[in-house]
Structure 1
Amino acid sequence: MYINEQDNHLEVYTFVFVLFQKVLEQLCQERHKFGVKSELFDGLKKGTTVVEFSSPNIAKKFHAGHLRSTIIGNFIANLKESLGNNVIRVNYLGDWGMQFGLLGAGFQLFGCQEKLKKNPLQHLFDVYVQVNKEAENNEVIGQAAREFFRRLEQQEHQALLLWKQFREITVEEYQQVYKRLGVHFDIYSGESFHQQQAQEVVQQLQRRGLLKTTEKGTGVVDLSSAGDMSSYSTVLRSDGTSLYITRDLAAAIDRKERYNFDEMIYVTDKSQGIHFQQLFQILLAMGHSWAERCQHVPFGLVQGMKTRLGEVVFLEDVLDEARARMLRNMSQSKTTKEMVYPEDTAEKVGISALIVQDFKGPLGSDYKFDWDRILQAQGDTGVFLQYTHARLCSLIHRYGDGEEGAFDPSLLLDQRSISILQHLLRLRLFGGVCTVLANGMKILGITPVEKM
């Protein structure tokens, strides 16, 4: 290796024998960790990382934005974990706020316990849509919603019982969907966990002289550099109830005290950029220097995600559609192998197609959802990744991966042995490529299939 002074660039030379020897030695030593374990990572700073992602709103539809947050957040968590970090995966549910006042009031008017048990998410969603529609032209419903939320904030028993029922059945339903996606969380948290702590945050803001009261009676924090209220964040309603950002402040402070994280990452769509900018500013103003190690990872929106039946309501609709379309494509392909559980394979391949499509473009850009393009068997698609992995598994299963017995790379210099050694080397290469591909897919959140 030397620097070419004429062109001012670095030139690297290597001996083929040395390259073969080093790569093969590493492949033999690391086996299934080959490709993710490297000396290059030894110098990286490791610590505790909190990743907040997915975070759907209870009783609202699990829309495409939550799917993106789930996919991207899971990838970030997997990547951080593969680099040796202690990762804490948090699902911060939207389980508090005025929308629950509306839902509580709506359920008392239009709800049915029998329908709730039979199809919980659908019934809660139907009630929420109906009460929203009624509230547009009926101020009485708006007043009932505010009253129900006030009862929640004051820990009124009957209101809390209904809220807990909504939350528990919704989380159970979501966990089934996450299981299909191959995603897990260490903690299911939510705004409700921090509604009392939010009042403590308000008191801290007041003690520090950061809280100001407007003419309307709302509590705000001045974020302007000149102190002229040209930029501010509202943290308290005029009736004294907390807001989303107030509970987010309490949640961030609680996580630092509880986990002593080195960094915290929030994964949401780009529309929440200002919210997180204000969140970090307020934390710093409160004296929490660790807020500098918090970051927001924004992403663009998915447009046109529909099933054959129309608009997508729940994430489960998307997964069912991906499985059905993939199963149909597999049944029409001449190369499809016989499988014991074809639906299981179709689901894994369909989900991998959704994941790869999500990562293909710039993270912050919106993209138009197209089923035909996503499920293509060729090109940079999840389907082709799975096919490549399955093909390699088939070759290894049939011929082995060249791992049995000792292998001496120096024999590659012997012309009499070179032909068979090249075949053995190719088999070992297949094994190495299969391992690297599988490990990379797992970091992306894809479950590799061995037959398709």
Structure 2
Amino acid sequence: MACFFRRRIAAKLGRTLQQSEEALIPALSAAPVFKKQQTADFKLSLSTLRVSGILPSSGDIQLQTEDLATRLKQDSVVEDISAGRGVINFRVNRTLLAQKILEPFENGEDDKFGLNSELFNNLKRGTTLVEYSSPNIAKKFHAGHLRSTIIGNFIANLKQTLGNNVIRMNYLGDWGMQFGLLGAGFSQFGSQEKLKQNPLQHLFEVYVQVNKEAEHNENMRLAARDFFRQLEQHESQAVSLWQQFREITVDEYQHVYKRLGIHFDIYSGESFHQDQAQEVVHQLQSRGLLKTSEKGTGVVDLSPTGDMSSICTVLRSDGTTLYITRDIAAAIDRREKHRFDEMIYVTDKSQANHFHQLFQILLALGHSWADRCQHVPFGLVQGMKTRSGEVVFLEDVLDEARARMLHNMSQSKTTKEMDNPEDTAEKVGISALIVQDFKGPLQSDYKFDWDRMLQAQGDTGVFLQYTHARLCSLMRRNEGIEAVAFNPSLLLEQTSVSILQHLLRYDEVLYQSAQDLQPKHLVNFLLKLCHLIASAHRELPVRGSPQDVAQARLRLFSGACSVLANGMRILGITPVHKM
């Protein structure tokens, strides 16, 4: 395990520099692996030691590097120590490297690999509430909600893997004037019969029709306002219809979430907080934070100098609350109910200002925990189309991903016989969607590209799945070899060592992902692992090798397969065993 080596090197440094191991661990990192090229296993950054005050920050850094390298002595664990440019390189004993890295897989602790690392000691554990997906009810699941859904799921999975108690929340857009329109429109254009047959499609058609009507018909606009007023005043007929729309929608959404392998602990929504939003208004008033603008709206002054140059509207002139007022109420309610230690909102980057204002107002109301709330913004997906044209609905995208993948599998010579090829095509298609989305920084917009996304050879979700399925096949074909005692000294070829060195980085990659909540670190780590496995497949045959060699190689492939599967699951991908 990486932590065994990191501790040994840190202890060696600690004795030389008369410092504690803990102070030195952050300056040590596993070295990146380059194909066909021998590299060190760990690097020590001298500039990190200078910044942390362990070494003097003045003087020639290269002289410092060379001086420290000569003072450090090799031992049975660390075979070689050399000075680079501002870094010291450490190479560990190769047999010990194979033994320690592959040890957890012998003890049946496959899913714990990398998770007992000292790097995680300073991560704050506790309860994390993640709010993600959050579509609007009475509408089909829009493809635009895909990013929030899969990014939020990744963050929840990552936090859970690292030991947090995670609450997954879907905060539905289930309140506001659009329900006035829909309610009024349904009484005129709606049909309970059609609602039973194809619920969301029918509600979508009614919504389109009523919006057209309201553009030129004042009576329709008045009817919509009246229906929403009835909702706000809890009149039973309006509430009953709204409730029906909400239940139908959540039921329909759950089918899509099931396909994506996503679940929620709580379905909440704006409607839960309409009464509490009025309480927020009273609190703002009593603290003297609520001002009235020239238009008669209720605003909070967020300008540093109090000159109203930056304001946030929390109340309409007719006294009704807004989205942000309900968001303030929701945050306070969640804190009281769930006692979270941190709360993460996953929405597109256009809402950055909304969350900035939300956190400022919560702090102004005396809620210091607002400092532990975070908005994770993301960019837009451009050019998401199916063969039938512009895409609006996510199910169309999932259907097309499955159909294209099924076609590709039927054309491939390597495709195995499967019990349920449709299910495999679905899982592989979804992993292709996820990896395309996660490869770059979340805040970047990206161009959706069906062909590139579904390539079996490129850096794609298909390549991850193909590699995993291939390793599973290798294990199935060689069952029984495992019985021989494992000899780590039989894994000294550079191809084996490269995989072992790359696995040293797994805890660092998870740590980095936990710091900035970006999935790209894990995606790129797994893709690199797959490339290294592909080389090893060619160069390290299992079948036909002496039994002890075959067993050692199989242990290496088995360990790599476990880490690949663990990483894929954190990303929200279900690994397939045949394809």
Q: TM-score, normalised by structure 1?
A: 0.95
1:233 aligned onto 2:360: no
Q: Confirm or deny that 1:172 pairs with 2:251.
A: yes
Partner of 1:430: 557
CA contact (8 A) 1:339 1:451 kept: yes
2:483 equivalent in structure 1: 404
Distance in structure 1 (CA, Å) of the matches to 2:447 and 2:473: 35
Deviation at 1:317, TM superposition (A): 1.1
TM-aligned CA distance change 1:347 to 1:244, over 3 Å: same
Match of 2:262 among 163, 183, 207: 183
Q: CA deviation at 1:127?
A: 1.0
Q: State the Cα distance separating 1:221 from its structure 2 match.
A: 0.9
Segment drifting more, 360-369 vs 75-84 = 360-369
> Letter of the aligned partner of 2:272 in structure 1?
F
Q: Which residue of 2 aligns with 1:4?
A: 66
Aligned match of 2:410 in 301, 315, 331? 331
Question: What is the CA-CA distance between 1:211 and the residue it aligns to?
Answer: 0.9
Distance 1:91 1:332 in 2: 39
Moved more, 159-168 or 136-145: 136-145
Q: 2: CA distance between counterparts of 1:94 and 1:412?
A: 56
Deviation at 1:370, TM superposition (A): 1.3
Residue of 282, 285, 295 corresponding to 1:216: 295
Alpha-carbon shift at residue 406 of structure 1 (Å):
3.4
For 2:177, the aligned partner's letter is: M
2:291 equivalent to 1:291: no
Q: State the match for 1:13 in structure 2.
A: 91
Cα distance in 1, alignment partners of residues 288 and 436 from structure 2: 48
- In structure 2, how many angstroms separate the alpha carbons of the residues matched to 1:279 and 1:145? 29
Q: Does 1:385 align with 2:512?
A: no
**What whole-Å deviation, never above 9, does each CA across 1:247-302 have from its counterpart, x for those lacking one?**
10011000100111110000001111111111001101100010011010000011
- How far off is 1:309 after superposition? 1.5
For residues 39-58 of structure 1, give each alpha carbon's deviation from its aligned partner in whole angstroms, at most 9, with x where no partner exists: 23551321100000000011
Q: Following the alignment from structure 1 to structure 2, what is the Cα–Cα distance between the partners of residues 353 and 370? A: 11
Amino acid at match of 1:436: V
What is the distance in 1 between the residues matched to 2:276 and 2:330?
Answer: 8
Letter in 1 for 2:182: L
Describe the shift of the 1:111–1:401 C-alpha distance in structure 2 as closer, same or farther (beyond 3 A): farther
Gaps of 5+ in 1: none
Find the counterpart in structure 1 of residue 217 from structure 2: 138
Alignment of 1:363-378 (within 5 A): 363-378=442-457
The amino acid across from 1:385 in the alignment is L
- Matching residue of 1:39: 117
Larger radius of gyration: 2
Aligned partner of 1:59 among 129, 138, 145? 138
Preserved CA contact (<8 Å) 1:356 1:382:
yes
**Aligned residues of 1:36 and 1:82 also touching (Cα < 8 A):** no
CA separation of 1:401 and 1:370: change in aligned 2, threshold 3 A: farther
Compare 371-380 and 249-258 and name the one that shifted more.
371-380
Cα offset, 1:422, TM superposition: 2.7
1:262 aligns with 2:319: no
Aligned identity (percent) is 75
The CA deviation at 1:307 is 1.4
Q: Under a length normalisation based on structure 2, what TM-score does the superposition of the two structures give?
A: 0.75
* C-alpha distance after superposition, 1:68-105 (max 9, x if no partner): 00010000000000000000000000000111111111
CA-based RMSD:
1.8
Query: Residue 308 of structure 2 aligns to a residue in which SS?
Result: coil
Between the aligned partners of 1:11 and 1:410, the Cα distance in structure 2 is: 23
The one-letter amino acid paired with 2:88 is: L
State the match for 2:439 in structure 1.
Answer: 360
Matches of 1:333 and 1:41, distance apart in 2: 43
Q: 1:408 to 1:335 in 2, by over 3 A?
A: closer
Q: CA 1:72 to 1:235, structure 2 compared with 1: closer, same or farther past 3 Å?
A: same
In the alignment, which residue of structure 1 is the partner of 2:521? none
Greater shift in the superposed pair: 152-161 or 137-146: 137-146
- Asked if the contact 1:412–1:421 (Cα under 8 Å) also holds between the matched residues in 2, the reply is no
C-alpha distance in structure 1 between counterparts of 2:469 and 2:272, whole Å: 45
Shift of 1:351: 0.5
CA distance in 1, matches of 2:175, 2:480: 55
Unaligned stretches of 5+ residues in structure 2: 1-8, 14-64, 68-82, 493-544
Q: What are the superposed Cα offsets for residues 166-203 of structure 1, whole Å, 9 maximum, x if unpaired? A: 00000000001100100000000000011111111111
CA spacing shift, 1:182–1:129, aligned 2, 3 Å: same
In 1, Cα distance between the equivalents of 2:102 and 2:352? 47
Count of aligned pairs between the two proteins: 448
- For residue 25 of structure 1, what is the aligned residue in structure 2? 103
1:376 is paired with a residue whose SS is coil
- Other-structure match for 1:160: 239
- Matched ranges for 1:316-327 at <5 A: 316-327=395-406
Q: CA–CA distance in 2 between the matches of 1:400 and 1:147?
A: 70
Q: Counterpart in 1 of 2:230?
A: 151
User: 1:450 maps to what in 2?
Assistant: 577
Shift of 1:20: 1.9
Q: Deviations over 1:351-395 (max 9, x none)?
A: 000000100122111111111111111111011110000000000
1:139 is displaced (CA, Å) by: 2.3
Letter in 2 for 1:4: E
CA contact (8 A) 2:398 2:426 kept: yes
In the aligned structure 2, how far is the partner of 1:192 from the partner of 1:317? 29
Q: Residue 437 of structure 1 aligns to a residue in which SS?
A: helix
For residues 176 and 378 of structure 1, the distance between their equivalents in structure 2, rounded to whole angstroms, comes to 31
Q: Matches of 2:363 and 2:345 in 1, distance apart?
A: 17
Task: Report the counterpart of residue 49 of structure 2 in structure 1.
Answer: none
Q: Find the counterpart in structure 1 of residue 281 from structure 2.
A: 202
Task: Give the Å deviation of 1:60.
Answer: 2.7
Q: Distance in 1 between matches of 2:454 and 2:486?
A: 41
- Greater displacement, 394-403 / 425-434: 394-403
Shift of 1:34: 4.7
Q: Is the 8 A contact 1:237 1:243 kept in 2?
A: yes
CA distance in 1, matches of 2:172, 2:490: 60
Residue 120 (str. 1) matches residue 199 (str. 2)? yes
State the distance in 2 between where 1:56 and 1:71 align: 13
Question: Structure 1 residues 412 and 99 mapped into 2: Cα distance closer, same or farther (>3 Å)?
Answer: closer
Secondary structure class of the residue paired with 1:185: coil
Separation in structure 1 between the aligned mates of residue 131 and residue 312 of structure 2, nearest angstrom: 22
Partner of 1:280: 359
Question: CA offsets per residue over residues 3-47 of structure 1, 9 Å max, x none?
Answer: 533744222121112212212323212532153523235513211
User: CA offset at residue 340 of structure 1?
Assistant: 1.0
